[in-house]
Structure 1
Amino acid sequence: MALSELVFHNSERRDRLCRLNQTFLEKMNNNFRATNKLSEVLNENFSCKFQPIAVDKDKTVKENCDIFLEAVKKIQVKIEEIDSRLKEKLEPSCYQEILAMKMPSTETLRKAQAVLEGIAGISLVVFGALKFLGPRLSLIVSPVLGVSACIGSLVLSVLGLGLELVFGAIEKSRLDDAIRKHEKVLEEFGPASDAYHDGIVYVTVKIEIMTSHT
């Protein structure tokens, strides 16, 4: 193959990799924003102090994945902590009433307030929604770990992908390898991210609707 053909095809490969990288960045940004929204819900209703997280394009993929997973883990721990206290202290009927994602009866609220001091009725509704979301939080972990294992050493920005303008077979090999890794990552990470983001949006919208009617 002539040098001019290699340059042309490598240009196409770089464009392909840039598009894949952009798709990956969009999924990552959506995950971070959704996580921040969830943190806000917990901060407002359960006096948590979760700090917002942001994608840092100057950091590696692994470093960003670690930031995301740490935030998700803290949220999971808090939800599990609240759940354990309610499940342990309340009668099964009261506990199930809270999970129904509707305003609890006066009696259930009174009993819940004995477990979680000062808890508002609407916060119990919010907890029911968060409990419903729980499995979605767990399902994102494995795909993110897969991302970290596959392309963790790469810097997020396109300029950090090591795509120096090296002509010929060396660049072609690098580009093909990077494209293959990105396609492999997005095969699982893409749908998992969509499900994670959509699940949080569904729950937060439902919470907004429920709270507007109280």
Structure 2
Amino acid sequence: MIGQLTGLVSHIEGDHCLIDVNGVGYVVSASSHTLGLLPRPPELARVLVETIVREDAIQLFGFAEADEQAWFRLLTTVQGVGNRVALAILSASRPSLLWQAVHAEDKTAFTQAAGVGPKLATRLLTELKGKVAKMPAPASMSGQNLTAVSGAASKGSTHSTEGLEQDALMALEGLGFRRAESWPIVNRIIGENAGEGLDVIIRLALKELAR
């Protein structure tokens, strides 16, 4: 089982690259994000590798970052999401955006990937919600937002907080803001302004989104 490769990047083409390790060339499929982070050939690179063994082939999938590899594994647990579709999703959206999209129940981060329609996007949101709740928040999210997420979850009634959050997100979506974009802001504002009504939450969120 190959878990990591360190070698010379021979070439990058389409959705894969060729890495030369001591004279042996490994074809590694990867997202556009990972391929974009690789050095120009023929420079040395290190990639984390997920090895998929099948009866007729051995496939290598490479990742520049551990959180992307974790999301690849997570996405492929969903029925109908194969390795290629998982890479397409990771090419279209970074793990931090996917994390936010699942919490905000926003399909957009998934449907913009090739091979993902509304039906599959709905299944992804449904099946990933419980699994993502057990994962740490992406490192790219600010500490302030993370504090707000945990704070909002612990204050007041879960039902009323979630209802307020969903109403605010729907209102902002009607004004043209994406749910994945609005969710971390709304979630933090609710946590910082316990007891405030919907109009106040929307007004404060609009003030930040307008920036």
TM-score category (smaller protein): under 0.3
* Greater per-residue strand proportion: 2
Larger Rg computed on CA atoms: 1
With normalisation by structure 2, the TM-score equals 0.22
With normalisation by structure 1, the TM-score equals 0.22
Higher relative contact order (CA 8 A, sep 6+): 1
* Greater per-residue helix proportion: 1
